[in-house]
Amino acid sequence: MKRALPFLLLLSLLSGCAPEPVSQSFFAMDTVMSVTLYDGGDTDALVAAQQEVNRLDQLWSRTRPESDVSRLNAAAGSGTPVEVDPDTAALLEQADRAARESGMAFDPVMAPVMDAWGFGATGSESTAVHRVPSQAELDALLPLTRDLPRVEGTAVSLPLAGQAVDLGGIAKGAAAGHVLEVLTGHGVGSAIIDLGGNITALGEKPDGSPFRVMVKDPRDSEGGICVLSLADGATCSTSGGYERYFEADGRVYHHIIDPSTGYPARSGLLSVTVVSQDPYWADAWSTALFVLGAEEALDLWREGPETVQAMELILVEESGRVLVTEGLEEGLEFLGEEAGYTCEIVRR
Ligand code: AMP
Ligand code: MG
């Protein structure tokens, strides 16, 4: 591809049109990711972006024994802090803030509960045994949640034995922030970063118009519920029960757990999409707002923490109502009508 690039550039110059996009797909953090450059393409930038995601995956994985997260989890309750990479410490601090601001709807120490459901460590999904844990089992595990990691510089500890961190609800957003920096550092001015459904726009399309992204229909993996414009630097992150689930005794159990019950969240929502200038918050809050439900999500958007007030939301309710906050109205193309959804714009 590297050798083909000058040729492609030459072709596009001669023909006067925008250069061909160049794209790289890879598997990391237990999901498919891709980075696409629209402004001429620098394959070094693509390689560097993938390397950066792999580096972070090695720090934050729960299955690699030498990762920061595995070492932290192994030392839980020992009283001895673990030295972690500055990027891990920064992520844990962001997770701490998301946990506190969401009233613990976002809880980064839910790993023992996730494991009980078989939604185990990132990377082990294919071998995980999904099961419905007994109430007694959950009652024994819930006291291990909510007590957040202590972070002092790069020294981190978990206060209770048996505790474990799971950063699955924020790691992809964090990785998007890192990739954005890598691409900008390589002089890339126009790109789409898609890290397992967390989509970040860098710049605009070569014709100067904003990038357009589709939000999935949570009931139909092939279909879309709407298409929206994504401004420069914005991330669109979607959380939904449809992304990972199993069925038992005629019921569906999904991977987003309500920390107050230890059960998959049942808040009346099928999915939550957050659009934010901050990729960390887009990811963490899409998970948290899915737990909290539409009413509380909109209350927080109207008068909650600044981070949430600055976001725009798409809340897809089980009833078929799709609530879209007003900042997304311009450029919104609603696709859900045929599938029985109705769209409502929510004002401040
Ligand atoms: P997302 O796809 O970003 O909504 O993240 C879902 C992932 O976050 C799950 O697979 C778990 O790893 C983790 N998770 C599940 N429930 C929670 C929660 N209440 N707070 C924080 N992380 C969670
Ligand atoms: Mg998330």
Average pLDDT of the residues in 207-213: 97
- The CB of 267 under 6 Å from ligand 1? The reply is no
What is the CA(293)–ligand 2 centre distance, in A?
Answer: 15
pLDDT of residue 262: 98
pLDDT of residue 18: 72
Ligand at minimal distance from the CA of 280 is: 2
Q: Whose CA is nearest to atom 5 of ligand 1?
A: 169
- The CB of 243 under 6 Å from ligand 1? The reply is yes
How many CB atoms within 10 Å of residue 78?
A: 11
- The CB of 312 under 6 Å from ligand 1? The reply is no
Q: How many residues does the chain have?
A: 348
Of 12-16, 101-105, 326-330, the poorest mean pLDDT is in 12-16
pLDDT of residue 128: 66
Please choose, from the candidates 186, 211, 180, the residue with its C-alpha nearest in 3D space to the C-alpha of residue 53. Answer: 180
How does the average pLDDT of the chain come out, rounded? Answer: 93
3-class state of residue 90 by DSSP: helix
Q: Is the pLDDT of residue 15 over 80?
A: no
Question: Could you give the C-alpha distances from 7 to 23, 24, 188, in angstroms and in order?
Answer: 16, 19, 19
Q: Is the pLDDT of residue 162 over 70?
A: yes
Q: How far apart are CA 77 and CA 162, in angstroms?
A: 7
List pLDDT tens digits, range 18-55. 788 999 999 999 999 999 999 977 889 999 999 999 99
Estimate the crossing angle of helix 43-60 against helix 171-185, to 10 degrees.
150
pLDDT of residue 197: 84
Average pLDDT of the residues in 63-83: 97
- pLDDT band at 1; cut points 50, 70, 90: very low
At 253, give phi and psi (nearest 5°): -120, 125
Does the global pTM surpass 0.75?
yes
pLDDT of residue 216: 95
pLDDT of residue 100: 97
Q: How far apart are CA 346 and CA 322, in angstroms?
A: 10
pLDDT of residue 40: 78
Q: Is the pLDDT of residue 206 over 60?
A: yes
Q: Is the pLDDT of residue 140 over 80?
A: yes
3-class state of residue 95 by DSSP: helix
- pLDDT band at 121; cut points 50, 70, 90: low
pLDDT of residue 24: 95
- Tokens (6 digits) for 126: 């294919």
pLDDT of residue 26: 97
Q: Is the pLDDT of residue 63 over 80?
A: yes
DSSP 168: T
pLDDT of residue 166: 96
Residue type, 4: A
- The CB of 120 under 6 Å from ligand 1? The reply is no
| pLDDT more than 70, % of the chain | 93
- The CB of 106 under 6 Å from ligand 1? The reply is yes
At 276, give phi and psi (nearest 5°): -145, 155
Q: Whose CA is nearest to atom 15 of ligand 1?
A: 256
- The better pLDDT of the pair 197, 172 is held by 172
- The CB of 107 under 6 Å from ligand 1? The reply is yes
